[in-house]
Structures are given as C-alpha cells and as structure tokens.
Structure 1
Amino acid sequence: MTEPLTPNQGYLTEERLMIRDLARDFTRNEVLPAANRLDPEHGTIPPELITKMADLGLFGITVPEDEGGQGLGAFEYCLVAEELARGWMSVASLIARGNGTFYKEGLRKDHPRRQELLSRSASGDMLVAYALSEPNTGSDLSSIACRAVKDGEDWLISGQKYWCTFADGADAILVFARTSPPPAADKRHLGISAFLVEKPRGELPANCSGAPIPKIGYFGWNTFELSFDGCRVPARAMIGDEGKAFYMMAAGLETARAHTAARSIGLAQGALDDAIAYARDRRQFAVPIAEFQAIRFKIATMATKIEAARQLLYHVCTQIDLGRRCDTESSMVKYFASEIAEEVTSESLQIHGGAGYTKLFAVERHWRDARLTKIFEGTSEIQQRIISDNLLGRSEIDKQIARNAYSKTYG
C-alpha cells in the first residue's frame, strides 16, 4: 500500500510518477491511435486493447493485494484515468468497469464470493456495467421503479433501465432494484437492493432485451436502454444487505466523482496539448498564430484552469485515501473539473478555427466528450445542490418535494 503523505513529501511521489508515466506511454502508443481510428466511425474499443489494459493491472488498481489487485488508492486510480482520458475518455471510463467499483462496498470481508469476485475484477475477467438510472429516474435514484420479487430461492427482476453503458460487452450487470417499499418519505432510499446479473460477454442476460441509445459522443462502446422481464437470478446474486444498496452506492460516490473529475481534466489537458501544437504549426499573416497575444492568453487561461482543477483533485484523492469524509469536496472537484473541461475543449476548438469543426483533429472528440462530464455521475446542478446543502442545510422545498413524491407513489 502507498504510505500516507507527510506534509513535506508532496503529492507526486516517485512511485506515482512511474504509474503516471506508464499510463501516459500506454495512452500515447495504444489508446490515442485506436481513438483516432475508431471514434470517427463510431467503432468499439478493441478486445486486444482491453486485454493489454488487464495485463498492465489497470482493472485492479484499487483492489487489495491479497485479493489479486495492486492495493493502491483513489490517487493512483485517478492519475491513470486522467492520462487515459487524454487519449479517449471511453477507455478512461472502462477502468471503472473493473476495480470492484461499487459492488466492492457490498462485499464484506466474510462474504463468500469476495475473493472470487474481486480477483476476477482485478484481472479484467469480471467487467461490470451499471444499471441504476431509469427512463423517469436520473439523479433521484431513490425513486427507482425497477422491482425484484422473491420466487423460491431466486429473485425475478422486472423493469426498465436507461443509460447502461457496456451492457453488452460486460461480464455482468449490477442492477439496482426495489425489493420493498420505503418505510417513510424521508427514507425513500431504503428498500433498494443490488444484484450482480452475470452473463456471457457480448450478450444481454436471459429475459432482458435492449437497444443502444443513439449518442453524439462517448463512442467506443454502446449505451443501452434495457427492459428486464422476469430476469431470474439466484439468491447469491444479491450484493450487500437486502434493502440497503443505496448505502453501498453512496459509499463509492466520492471516488466515482473524483474519477469523473480526472477524466474531465484529462480531456481538457488533451485539448490544451492539441491547441498548443496547432498554434505553433498554423501560420497566418506569415507568423504562427502562437505569436498572437489573443491566442497566447487563451492558452494561459486554459492551462491555469486545468492546473487548479488538478490540484483540487489531488487534495480530494488524498482525503479519500486517508479515510476522511469529503463528500463536499468531491462534489466540488467533479463540478469544477467538468465545467472547465467544457470551457477548455471549446477554446481549443476555437483556436483550431474551421479545422476544429472537422473530424480531422481529435479536439472535436474531446469537446463532445467533455460536454457529457457535466451530466453523468451527477449533473453540475446536482453537485451544486450537494455542496449548498452541506453548507446551508437541506432546503425545506426539497423536503416537501420528497414528501409529495412519496405520497403520490405509496399513498
């Protein structure tokens, strides 16, 4: 395990620099060429690239060493994610399908499948898609309508799920479904359970149908709308305690938000790199446009915003790895990094001029993907709500909305 940082040690230890540089070289040599080739034609991440990621241990960064992983923390996880996102955000997102993300929180030390599932996750043999959102439920996950009912020793899952990325390519889908009604309006998060629905890679589970959602970006894999119709799973498929999956999900949100911030920063850095290279190469009025103050100041502002986001991310990751609660700060970094990612990628496209509005340069990919970071893993508005609630207390309006929703659904 990485030793906790001392005040005079700094964030980037020699070990972390080696990890960062390894991920940077892999991105330059493997990820970026694949992205430049496949993203314009909406192709999928090649299986051989996934195998190379597994060989490097990228799916086991945060899995404990005694359970098959590298035993590292959120800091190293986000270092790698940032570098991968500089090439292709979809690949940076793929590492979250390993690392035991989310369901690791539901596997107590005495869980009979802990060793098996985490070991397979670390090796890249158990890549998991997440089925949380629904057609009418996005940020308010306590209002999910998908149901799981007991049938002998099994469970039958029925309902709709939306925004399930990698549902076809994963080895399992972690489905959040309601197994009992909530006891009160202020406890709507109770009664939700999580099921690891295992399946062959390249297929959907039995009694589950779906179709890819047409997207404007985030290519490299498919994002599905799913319909479960009596999908049967054994009792051992339940991960964590019955009715308490919301806590399992919430426990992993700080790292998930940091991961999204890292991806945002990687996109912004990739766009900045491209803007600098283009500004040095592109000539107007007989000089490189990098000589013009308007361009130079744009680049200075872009670089400053990226570094500010990166340093906040380093702080948040350190707090996570020290076991300190930082839900406010993780929302701050997710919010800030995703906002500056859209700004920086847009400015980079502007520096490219008309060339930036073509598929001949990677900046348009960074721009499209950066726009998504303000939406998934909790929108910017949701992050602002979390931050303001933690600073000011939850508003009475929100409490009344929750009571009304409960009364309408459960009477």
Structure 2
Amino acid sequence: MSSSQDGFMTEERRAIQAMAREFAMKEVLPIANELDPVNGEIPMELRDKMSELGFFGIMIPEEHGGLGLGAFEYCLVAEELARAWMSVASIMARGNGLVGGFSEEQRARLLPKMARGEFLGAVALSEPEAGSDVANISCRATRTDGGWLINGQKMWCTFADGADYLAIFARTGAEIDPRRRHAGISAFVVEKERGTLPDGISGNTVRKIGYRGWKTWDLSFDDFFVPEDAMLGQEGRGFYGAMSFLEVARAHTAARAIGLARGALEDSIAYARQRVQFNQPIGNYQAIRFKIASMATDIEAARQLMYSVCAAIDSGRRCDTEASMAKLFASEMAERVTSEGLQIHGGAGYTTDFAVERHWRDARLTKIFEGTSEIQHRIISDSLLGKVAEAR
C-alpha cells in the first residue's frame, strides 16, 4: 500500500523499506504460511539471511559492527517483517542492543557479535506477581563467593532456549520499601549455550494461541550462579535500565501492529477482488468497500503517529507519552482491522487456510506486551493530569 510519507521518508529510507519488503514477501511470508499453522519454529536459515542484511544491528553503532541507524529505520523494517510474520519482526529485537547498560568492555566484546546475529538475547523480567507492575519483582540474587546466586520464578521469557544470553532482573537490595519498590533491582547478562537452559534453570513452555515460531517459557531459578562481572550497569539500577529502552520498544510494537493490520488489509483487498457472490466480486459491494476504506485510514493514521515518535526518538527528545500513544493507538487499531479482515473473508477467514487468522491472533497480543493498553492509558493520563494524590 502506498502512503503519504514524504514528510519523513528519504531516498535511503525508501531503499531500506523496499529491501525489507522484498525480503518479507519473498522469504518470510512463505515460511510463515507453512510453519505457523503447525507451530513450527523460525528456521536458522532465515535468521542467517536476516544477519546478512544487517537486521540485527540496525541500531548498533558502526564502530561496533552495526548499521548505526535509528529507531525510524528499525521500525520501517519491523513493519515490513510483521506484515509477513510478527515473530520474525520480534526476533529482530533480540539483537539491536536488546538491553542497555553495557559497560564499554561489554559493548566492545558483545555488540559486534550481536550485530552479526551471533549473540541474541532473551529477557527474564516478568514474574507471577510482577507483570505490568515491574517494580514488584521478588526473584532474588544473593551474594556468594565470586558472584551471585539467583532464586525465584520468571514468566513470559520468549526465546529462553534459543538465545545466546539471558538478561535476568533480580532484587539484590534489602526488603522491598513500599515507597520505593523499584529500588534494589539489578540486571545480569548471562551467556549460555544456544538451544539449552543452563544448570540451575528449569522451565516449561507456555501454551500460546499465537506468537508462534519460537517458544515462550516460565522459568525457575534454583541457586543459579552468575559471576560478579555479569552484572549489567550499577547494582540496584536495573529497573531504570529496563525502563530506558521502552520508547523504542513501544514504537517497535506499534510498527509490528501496523504490519499485521496491513497484512489483513492487503489480503482482504485481494480476497474481495476474487471472491464472487451473487454473480459479482464482493469488492463491488459498498459494505466491503467502506470496510476497506476505514481499515486503510486507520493504518495510515497509526503509521504517521509512529513515524512522528521515531523521529522524536532519533532527535534525542524525550517522548515517552507519545510512544505510549503510538503503541496504544496502533495495537487497538490492529485488533480492530484484523478482525474486520477476518470478517471480509467470511467462513474462510476462520480457517488456517488464510493468513488473516494469524494476523488476528498476533494482533491481539500487541495490546498486552510492552505494557498493556490499560498501562498506556495510565501513562498518558498521568502525563496530562498528573498522578492522583493519595487520600488522607
């Protein structure tokens, strides 16, 4: 689909977009159509091709082997990949400096491998009682000779088995202070063998309805040892590290949602042209035409908001409220548009013979991860109204 992108697009960005679109439609979409219905995993060959194109290093500086580009280019590529398979647009984020706070030594040693797709990560952050409420982390790391012992539970750790390292968030400080619950949380980067869970970590896979192509895990840590130099940044500052990348993460989720919605739109246009009822294509009926017009308008509105947020991020301007707006609007839009796409397909849409059901299932997740729609509403309203004072 074309769009009015002239205010943001350069020739370089158009070339990146075209390259990513060709890769997504020729390489990713056929694999998604084959493997998603049978819950197959993203092939290593596809990841290798992504590495060759530099997708894992878009935002990594050139001096560390990356492309040295910004959030705008990162989200351009993410939209194109998500249009084919959201999981592939998501695995791209497992490079690109997944977590911040690396020391200079860690950056020099690890970022070049990350840019080449050889060092991809998984984040162990959420817990049974710490989902949206990240500050409620109870998984604990206690000091021992030469490092730390981690004990506790983690949930929703996608790619824990396939990753080359785990970013683990655990409480190293004293007992939780009700007034400063975020204090005392530290982050650790633990290198591991790809395809396994290290000794001291056990897990069970989550039975998901979508987000296929890779596994999501619930993890248990039982005296899991990490060395002293595995700590990421300063002790007790892990919460801030987890929050620091959220503007980019939420723009990335908006891009993925837009890609999913675009997939539903494009598939619906094709279906409306070829599906004949009452002796004519259903695309001739006003009810279908107006649905498609509204779908396209919603997608373009979300895209332009996402572009604006990416431009702000790349300029260095703080835009956490606007990033929440983009994530909220795009994810809500994606569920609505993909549902309309399924409706246009009729009974065929409720089968796995058409990709629109995949777009619909995956769009539903965008309203949950990287902060639920309810959390985004809270962030935006707090920015506009201020936080509500406690009653006395």
TM-score normalised per structure 1: 0.93
**Which deviates more from structure 2 when the two are superposed, residues 173-182 or residues 227-236?**
173-182
- The answer as to whether partners of 1:129 and 1:172 remain within 8 angstroms in 2 is yes
* Residue deviations 1:114-165 (CA, integer Å, cap 9, x gap): 1111111111111000111011210011011101111112111111000000
Instruction: Quote the residue 1:29 is aligned against.
Output: 26
Instruction: Quote the residue 1:41 is aligned against.
Output: 38
Is 1:301 the counterpart of 2:294 in the alignment?
yes
Instruction: Quote the residue 1:18 is aligned against.
Output: 15
Instruction: Quote the residue 1:163 is aligned against.
Output: 156
Question: Matches of 1:145 and 1:66 in 2, distance apart?
Answer: 38
**Which deviates more from structure 2 when the two are superposed, residues 244-253 or residues 337-346?**
244-253
Amino acid at match of 1:221: W
Matches within 5 A, 1:387-406: 387-396=380-389
- The answer as to whether partners of 1:164 and 1:223 remain within 8 angstroms in 2 is yes
Instruction: Quote the residue 2:192 is aligned against.
Output: 199
Question: Matches of 1:280 and 1:236 in 2, distance apart?
Answer: 60
Equivalent pairs, count: 388
Is 1:316 the counterpart of 2:316 in the alignment?
no
Instruction: Quote the residue 1:73 is aligned against.
Output: 70
- The answer as to whether partners of 1:182 and 1:189 remain within 8 angstroms in 2 is no
* Residue deviations 1:42-91 (CA, integer Å, cap 9, x gap): 00000111111111100000000001100000000000000000000000
Amino acid at match of 1:283: V
Q: Which of 88, 92, 108 is residue 91 of structure 1 equivalent to?
A: 88
**Offset, 1:346:** 0.1
Matches within 5 A, 1:174-253: 174-181=167-174, 184-253=177-246
Matches within 5 A, 1:90-109: 90-102=87-99, 105-108=100-103
Question: Matches of 2:86 and 2:176 in 1, distance apart?
Answer: 40
SS of 2:310's equivalent?
helix
**Offset, 1:10:** 2.3
Amino acid at match of 2:197: L
Instruction: Quote the residue 2:146 is aligned against.
Output: 153
Instruction: Quote the residue 1:403 is aligned against.
Output: none
Amino acid at match of 1:27: A
Question: Matches of 2:199 and 2:17 in 1, distance apart?
Answer: 41
Question: Matches of 1:183 and 1:165 in 2, distance apart?
Answer: 27
* Residue deviations 1:85-124 (CA, integer Å, cap 9, x gap): 000000000011001122xx2024xx32211111111111
Q: Which of 321, 332, 336 is residue 343 of structure 1 equivalent to?
A: 336
SS of 2:9's equivalent?
coil
- The answer as to whether partners of 1:198 and 1:205 remain within 8 angstroms in 2 is no
Instruction: Quote the residue 2:275 is aligned against.
Output: 282
Amino acid at match of 1:31: V
Identical columns (%): 64
Instruction: Quote the residue 2:50 is aligned against.
Output: 53
SS of 1:376's equivalent?
coil
* 1:283–1:183 distance in 2 versus 1, CA, 3 Å: closer
* Residue deviations 1:320-376 (CA, integer Å, cap 9, x gap): 000000010000000000000000000000000000000000000000000000000
Is 1:116 the counterpart of 2:113 in the alignment?
no
Matches within 5 A, 1:321-332: 321-332=314-325
Instruction: Quote the residue 2:59 is aligned against.
Output: 62
SS of 1:214's equivalent?
coil
Question: Matches of 1:182 and 1:93 in 2, distance apart?
Answer: 35
SS of 1:341's equivalent?
helix
Amino acid at match of 1:234: P
SS of 1:59's equivalent?
helix
**Offset, 1:185:** 2.8
Gaps of 5+ in 1: 1-7, 401-411
Question: Matches of 1:352 and 1:215 in 2, distance apart?
Answer: 24
Instruction: Quote the residue 1:377 is aligned against.
Output: 370
Question: Matches of 1:361 and 1:396 in 2, distance apart?
Answer: 50
**Offset, 1:186:** 3.0
Gaps of 5+ in 2: none
Question: Matches of 1:218 and 1:394 in 2, distance apart?
Answer: 34
Question: Matches of 2:174 and 2:355 in 1, distance apart?
Answer: 48
Amino acid at match of 2:50: M
SS of 2:155's equivalent?
strand
**Offset, 1:235:** 1.1
Question: Matches of 1:131 and 1:91 in 2, distance apart?
Answer: 20
SS of 1:359's equivalent?
coil
TM-score normalised per structure 2: 0.97
- The answer as to whether partners of 1:63 and 1:69 remain within 8 angstroms in 2 is yes
- The answer as to whether partners of 1:58 and 1:95 remain within 8 angstroms in 2 is yes
- The answer as to whether partners of 1:332 and 1:383 remain within 8 angstroms in 2 is yes
**Which deviates more from structure 2 when the two are superposed, residues 181-190 or residues 327-336?**
181-190
